[in-house]
């Protein structure tokens, strides 16, 4: 993975980039990770160039783009929030979709922001959920409106 440029970013933004990179590099089975705001905009991505590397002709991410993962995470988040409201289930903490060829995990961060992970089908789900919870615990209190705005601008300039 190529680390995104954090030049000119605040300490909080650089720390979130580091946490995201660490999640991808240190947790076995993780292909890509994204953070999406409550309005569906990508704030952070493990793939700053938006093109996931292809290994042996196979894409590591959904259709090869972290923007696609952000769209998927936003859609899953909206769907589960709507389902929870219909079922009087309270807030949604985590959603997991297991497929033949991969898994997608979505976890609430704060005020509607979501953390999404695309992983291998044979990943250890409990390890991924644990590391996602660590990320959420560390990121939730610093993801202020000002930081979200800074991260959005950073993502726009990377495109």
- Burial (CB < 10 A; 0-12, 13-18, 19+), residue 72, is buried
CATH code of 31-48+61-158, in short, is 3.30.450.30
pLDDT band for position 6 (cuts 50, 70, 90): low
Cβ partners under 8 Å of residue 10, min gap 6: 147, 150
Distance from C-alpha of 44 to C-alpha of 67, rounded to nearest angstrom: 10
Closest CA to 16 of 40, 48, 38: 48
Q: What is the pLDDT of residue 145?
A: 86
Whether the CB-CB separation of 45 and 37 falls below 8 Å is answered with no
Q: Collapsing DSSP states into helix, strand and coil, what is residue 154?
A: helix
Each domain of the chain, given as residue ranges in start order, spans: 31-48+61-158
pTM here? 0.84
Per the listing, tokens 């589960």 go with 80
Q: What is the pLDDT of residues 50-85, one digit of tens each?
A: 433 433 344 454 445 678 899 999 999 999 999 999
């Amino acid at each position: 993975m190529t680390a995104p440029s954090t030049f000119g970013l605040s300490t909080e933004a650089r720390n979130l980039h580091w946490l995201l990179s660490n999640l991808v590099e240190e947790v076995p089975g993780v292909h890509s990770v994204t953070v999406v705001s409550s309005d569906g905009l990508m704030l952070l991505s493990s793939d700053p160039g938006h093109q996931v590397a292809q290994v042996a002709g196979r894409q590591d991410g959904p259709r090869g783009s972290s923007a696609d993962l952000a769209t998927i995470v936003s859609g899953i988040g909206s769907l589960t929030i709507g389902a929870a409201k219909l079922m009087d289930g309270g807030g949604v903490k985590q959603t997991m979709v297991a497929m033949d060829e991969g898994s997608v995990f979505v976890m609430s961060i704060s005020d509607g922001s979501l953390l999404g992970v695309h992983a291998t089908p044979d990943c250890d789900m409990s390890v991924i959920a644990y590391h996602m919870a660590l990320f959420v615990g560390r990121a939730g209190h610093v993801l202020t409106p000002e930081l979200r705005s800074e991260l959005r601008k950073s993502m726009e300039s990377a495109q």
